[in-house]
Amino acid sequence: MDPAEAVASLALPALLPAAPIATTIVVDDADATDEQLVAMWLHGRSAHTVRAYRRDVQRFRTFVEDKPLRAVTLRDLQAFADFITGKPGTRARILAALKSLLSFASKLGALRFNVGAALKTHAGRDGLADRILAESDVARMLALTVGRDHALIRLAYAGGFRVAELVSLRWSDLADAADGTLYITVFGKGGKTRTVRVSAATGKVMRALRADAPLSGFVFAGRSGALNPSQAWRIVRAAAQRAGIEKAVSPHFLRHAHASHALERGVKVTIIRDTLGHSSIAITDRYTHARPEESSGLALAV
């Protein structure tokens, strides 16, 4: 064979078209397929969301006796919707999670039909207004709490942070501004990073809490590393009880309070959206409806 022909024959395989990329998931074991789907669906979500969604999906799978997702029918979903109990918002969240999973699996081609698309969900009464604390409530909680717990409550309110964002903070995430205010960078929901600026008074509290702690240390440390979300919840709940608040207050109440109080003080909705890390202005705009400044009821003679 001519040397040139030999070289050409060796190069031929490289010119052949690549094998087509599979667009569907094909796994013999049905359970493994479902586990793969759930894992891919949850990829990139926060640890708190992963725990909640896994719990919701497992609850459904137990109800249908571990029927493979590809065999689930609309009748199964409707029966489950009638079966689950609890607050309307909780029920709606569980069903929304299932619809999201089924839609995801359908887009991947793992399901022939997206039966979840036909399932009707009802959110029920919006209880946001019930979860907003008065400024005086927050002030009492802070006045009756000291040390690390005071700083946690203060920062949850001042920055409007989610509890998962709070407990994962390290001192390296905090940076001083020239005027004494504090920049705080968090890795938030949906894998998004944002920086929030809090007041000089809050900055002073945080600097006192740090003392000589290393930059790599957790801001809110427990006995073995960072506090977990349930510990933060107990801290906030205990502060609310000391302040005489009867509601079952959670850290998220402080996030709601931040948004509502900022609106009442004239802060633009877009700024609040960016501070809280909301995905859209529509989410932030709920606070304007929860406690409206204007109402036709104010014009009546009663």
Report yes or no: 69 and 106 within 8 Å, Cβ to Cβ: no
Q: 30-118 falls under which CATH superfamily? A: Tyrosine recombinase, N-terminal domain (1.10.150.130)
**Is domain 129-291 given the CATH code 1.10.443.10 in the classification?**
yes
List pLDDT tens digits, range 109-134.
888 889 999 888 766 555 656 778 88
Region 44-65: what's the mean pLDDT? 88
User: Which pLDDT belongs to residue 127?
Assistant: 60
Of 3-7, 158-162, 237-241, 296-300, the one with minimum mean pLDDT is: 3-7
List pLDDT tens digits, range 74-94.
999 999 988 888 777 788 889
Active site residues: 162, 189, 252, 255, 278, 287
Q: Where in the chain is CATH 1.10.150.130?
A: 30-118
Region 151-176: what's the mean pLDDT? 94
Q: Does residue 287 carry a pLDDT above 70? A: no
Question: Residue 234 — pLDDT band, cuts 50, 70, 90?
Answer: very high
Question: Residue 10 — pLDDT band, cuts 50, 70, 90?
Answer: very low
Q: Whose CA is closest to 244, among 149, 167, 146, 133?
A: 133
User: Which pLDDT belongs to residue 291?
Assistant: 58
Alpha-carbon distances of 130 from 54, 134, 248, 287, 290, rounded to whole Å: 28, 11, 11, 12, 9
Q: pTM of the entire structure?
A: 0.62
Of 9-13, 21-25, 272-276, the one with minimum mean pLDDT is: 9-13
Q: Where in the chain is CATH 1.10.443.10?
A: 129-291
Average pLDDT, the chain: 82
Contacts 24+ apart (CB under 8 A), 121-126: 121/81, 121/92, 121/95, 121/96, 122/88, 122/92, 123/88, 123/89, 123/92, 124/87, 124/88, 124/89, 124/91, 124/92, 125/88, 126/286, 126/290
Of 90-94, 122-126, 217-221, 249-253, the one with minimum mean pLDDT is: 122-126
Query: H or E segment at 194?
Result: strand 193-198
Pairing of strands 225-226, 221-222: antiparallel
